[in-house]
Amino acid sequence: MSLEAINPSTGETLAVYDEMTPEEVEIIINQVNGAFSYWRRTGFAERADLLNRAAGVLREQADKYAKVMTDEMGKPISDARSEVEKCAWVCKYYAENGERFLQEETVETDATKSFVTFQPLGIVLAVMPWNYPFWQVFRFAAAGLMAGNTVLLKHAANVPGCALAIEEIFAKAEFPENVFRIALVGSDKVDRIIENPLIKAVTLTGSVQAGKAVAKKAGTMLKKTVLELGGSDPYLILEDAELEQAVETCVFSRLLNSGQSCIAAKRFVVVASQREQFENLFTQRMAEAKMGDPTSEDTEVGPQARLDLREDLHRQVRQSIKSGATLLLGGKIPKGTGSFYPPTVLTDVRKGMPAYDEELFGPVGAIVPVKDEEEAVQVANETSFGLGAAVFTKDVARGERIAAENLDAGCCFVNDFVRSDPRLPFGGIKDSGFGRELSHFGIREFVNIKTVVIK
């Protein structure tokens, strides 16, 4: 078996990698476990120094690593550079704050002394996706490594070059050998890795189907999991929204990473009084977005990461139209090479259509007309997902109330687009997964929260 990296904008085969055998993976797991016995005893200062070095490597060679992402999964080069910088940020963040997040906590009891300490678990298996091939690794790895765990990365099969590049970054930062390793294998090998008793926990970012499969296997083995899965983020446009600002934000979020983001704006829930103007402005701005060569600095929309992904997206669009949605823009596969799909706008979207019920993982915006705020909230929550949501209104107190109390999602924003930030916990509910990454919540997911009592 082999793993093939294909440039999605040209269809060109970039490289072919031999898949590791089960025996080779087992050797790596043993080596990573051996490194854990040393790594867990290093101090926070040493781990922080190494994370700072990793941030330095990322920043010094940002163009190189951005190009790897653009070549393998078609990410527009400006987005790719931003992703590299964000990875450096999260390394610096945990270098500066990790020790404080994991400080022992004294608890007053009737004992002479009692406290809570946070100890690493061992090897954490990270099963990561292709859409943010650096960020989604680093946002877990920076916290996990700072906590004293070691990491085995099983990356998406279509971005093996990204996996190798990340392993290279930790080596260049002079992390001890085998603290961070990769397993170049397909998804069908994940169960066997989870079964290995040296793997202590699993984190996965990916589809609902993949999350359920990993959770089932990890649950059988009684191993902790954190899952960040899909999303169908609703953006509520209320009657007092500042429409031009809202449209600009909505379009930016919908087209970020060529629409291939779990937390991208996907369903635009628009009250009746704003519908016509929102549709006109939103469609106009989507039409203006430049689609093309992802290596070009002014490209906003690159190709979809694979041809099969584009086909599935097109199926969702066509089935929604067949079920009564109105096509305002796009919706046609362009001629030529590459897996491009144009910015597309659907309106009159309602329950029972793929554009309403499923995640649209590409540059397709689904407008859902509603009569008022009450119905907007109802529609926003009428989904199996619960990752992100946003509300647009001039009344900030109103927006805060809706975001904090009424929207069923892990990350809710007011007058802004949903995004992850190292300083804030990130994750979802319902079919969007469970557990949290980032902030102090994220670093405590994969530690033994140990009670110590001394009489």
Q: Among all residues, which ones are annotated catalytic?
A: 228, 262
Count the Cβ atoms, other than its own, within 10 Å of residue 270.
29
Give the torsion through C-alpha atoms of 27, 33, 38, 44, to 10 deg: 130
- Across the strands, what pairs with 3? 17
Please check whether residue 344 is in contact with residue 317, taking contact to mean a CB–CB distance below 8 angstroms.
yes
Helix (H, G, I), strand (E, B) or coil at 32: helix
E strand spans, 199-329: 199-205, 224-228, 233-237, 265-271, 326-329
Closest CA to 98 of 51, 166, 157, 155: 51
Please check whether residue 170 is in contact with residue 121, taking contact to mean a CB–CB distance below 8 angstroms.
no
Helix (H, G, I), strand (E, B) or coil at 151: strand
- E strand or H helix that includes residue 322: helix 307-322
Phi, psi of 124 (to 5 degrees): -110, 125
| Cα-Cα-Cα-Cα dihedral sign, residues 5, 11, 12, 18 | positive
Residue whose pair of structure tokens reads 């946003």 in the numeric block? 390
SS3 sequence of 381-445: HCCCCCCEEEEECCCHHHHHHHHHHHCCCCEEEECCCCCCCCCCCECCCHHHEECCECHHHHHCC
Count the Cβ atoms, other than its own, within 10 Å of residue 37.
10
Pairwise CA distance, residues 451 & 455, whole Å? 13
Closest CA to 350 of 372, 373, 327, 370: 370
Determine whether 450 is exposed, middle or buried from the number of CB atoms within 10 Å of its CB (0-12, 13-18, 19+): exposed
